[in-house]
Structures are given as C-alpha cells and as structure tokens.
Amino acid sequence: MMDGSWLDWNRDGLDWPHRAASRFVDVAGLRWHVQEMGPADAPVLLLLHGTGAASHSWRYLLPVLAATHRVVAPDLPCHGFTRPQRWPDLSLNGMRMAVQALITALGIVPAVIIGHSAGAAIAVSLGTGDAVKPPPTVVTINGAFRPIRGDRIFSPLAKALFAAPLSASLFAAVARGGWFGDNLLTATGSQIDNTGAVLYRRLLTSSGHVRGALGMMAAWDLTRFDALLAALPVPPTLIAAKDDPMVPWSDTRHAGDIARDARLRLVDRGGHLVHEVRAEMVAGLIADAIQARPASRVDAA
C-alpha cells in the first residue's frame, strides 16, 4: 500500500524554505517533517496546509508570525516529506487523530490553529471536542468546508485512481514535463512566484505525494461538517478571497453563518493561495484574529 517514490530530504530538500527550522519526528506510524520557528516559550500557532501542498506553502508567513509566536508547520500525512511507515487513514477524522498524536508528541498546546483549504477543515475538527485543551482559536483561509461541486462524480474517480498505484506514478511522470503542474497552479487563480512554482512542481513529481493527495480526496467526507462548525467553542476567523476559483467564497460565508460569532474577512484578490501571494496582509488578519473579540461578523479587507 506504500507504492511510489517519495521525496528525499537530502536531495529534494536542500533548498527547501527554512530548512534550518526542520526536523523529523516518528509518531503514529508516520515519519513527520515539521518546521518550527519562534520563541520556545511563546504561544503556539499550528499551521495546516491543504491537499497537495506542504509546509512550503507557509514560507512567507512563517517568519512574520514567528516574531511573536512559536509557529509549528508540519507536512500532513503522505504529503511533502512526511512519509508513512504504514498507509494511514487519510479521512478527515484520520487526519485529525494523526495531527492530534503529533502535537501530543511535540508537547505543545496550540493557542491558535490556522488551516488552508482542506487544512482548514482539519483545524475546525481539532478546534471542537477534546482534541486540544484549552480550546484554540481557529483561523481558516479559503476553507474547503463543503462537498466540492461534482462530488458524486469526482469522489468515486479519486477512489478509483487511489486504488490503482500506477495512476499516481503516471501523474508524477506527466508532471515532470512541467506543463501539468503549471496548469494546476494557474487553476488556483494565484500569481505564484517562481520559488513556489518550482516547489509545487517538485511535489507533483513524487508519486508518493500524489498518491497521498489522491487518498485524501478519496477519503474526504464533509456531508456532516456543519455540525463541527456549530460546535466550535471559540468564535473562529474565516478568511476568504473573492477571486478564489477553486473554493467559492460563498462556502466561507456559509460557514460564518453556522459557526457561533464567526468573523468573516473577505479579500478582493489573491486567489486560492492568497496566503502565499499576499502573506503580509494575511499575517495582519491573523494578528487581528488573535487579538480580536468577536464583536463584528463581517469585515472587508
């Protein structure tokens, strides 16, 4: 079940952003790649990237947030440099339990959990129940909170592709030509710089990473996600770019209607990867979220 090639830290990670902040931790059947930055005794911010990405997605936010907080940014299971010792449960609940095991092993109690896209759904899941005590503030960026359009077709397709290991190898082989990865980045609606484009292309050439992304999509089920949003004990801040072509900002507005006293922050431009292309602005919104009281529900940025 672990067929595929994986990224090699000593080859593919030589120019990885903030390499000096990286370490590897063996927890819950995974060898996790984790980046940590900021004062050891500062409040902890946990950053969770989206499907198909890795910790590099936070490359510009990390040093900004680390000025005042201890920032922890792992590669999610079967993404980037986090490799499985046995194939894990990549469903939402499986991801939540894996991240919960990681933060327990690291000995941290996140004060704030920040998630992008599918990582936002994991952040919400961790923000409810007994996963983190005391309950954290959740900040989401272009959160993927609802079943994608065409899910009745796409989910079975993802399951079929995940079940055929050669499909991930084929994707990775095609990605080596460059155009496939470029087209995927164009579809995000974000003007990614060359550094980011190179790293995304590199991820896509790893059949293990591709299989991890496919496995996550195949196992994802958001049909009862509204109940998690409603159960958040601390009012969240929900950030969305109006020009995101991948996750409609109306999904974030819907989440804001469900979560108690949520603060909805709408950004005019930036696309799906707004936190990469407008990192300083997003860092400001995060700082506001950490300090703010849930007075107003909708602000424009």
CATH of the domain at 71: 3.40.50.1820
Q: What is the pLDDT of residue 232?
A: 96
Q: Average pLDDT, stretch 251-270?
A: 96
For residue 100, give its domain range: 9-149+221-300
How many structural domains is the chain composed of?
1
From the number of C-beta atoms within 10 Å of its C-beta (0-12, 13-18, 19+), residue 112 rates as buried
78 Ramachandran zone, left/alpha/beta (phi>0; psi -120 to 50): left
In a domain, 204, yes or no: no
Q: Average pLDDT, stretch 238-253?
A: 95
From the number of C-beta atoms within 10 Å of its C-beta (0-12, 13-18, 19+), residue 152 rates as exposed
How far is residue 83's CA from residue 206's CA, in Å, rounded to a whole number? 12
Q: What is the pLDDT of residue 151?
A: 44
In a domain, 261, yes or no: yes
Q: What's the predicted TM-score (pTM) here? A: 0.89
3-class DSSP state of 13: coil
pLDDT digits (tens, 9 = 90+) for 14-31: 999 999 999 999 999 999
Q: What is the overall mean pLDDT for the chain?
A: 87
In a domain, 3, yes or no: no
Quick check: 58 and 47 in contact, CB under 8 A? yes
Q: What is the pLDDT of residue 146?
A: 85
What tokens appear for 49 in the block? 């990237």
Instruction: Kindly report the backbone phi and psi dihedral angles of residue 99, in degrees, each rounded to the nearest multiple of 5, phi listed first.
Output: -65, -35
- CA distances from residue 60 to 224, 266, 279 in whole angstroms, order as listed: 33, 20, 6
Q: Average pLDDT, stretch 80-84?
A: 97
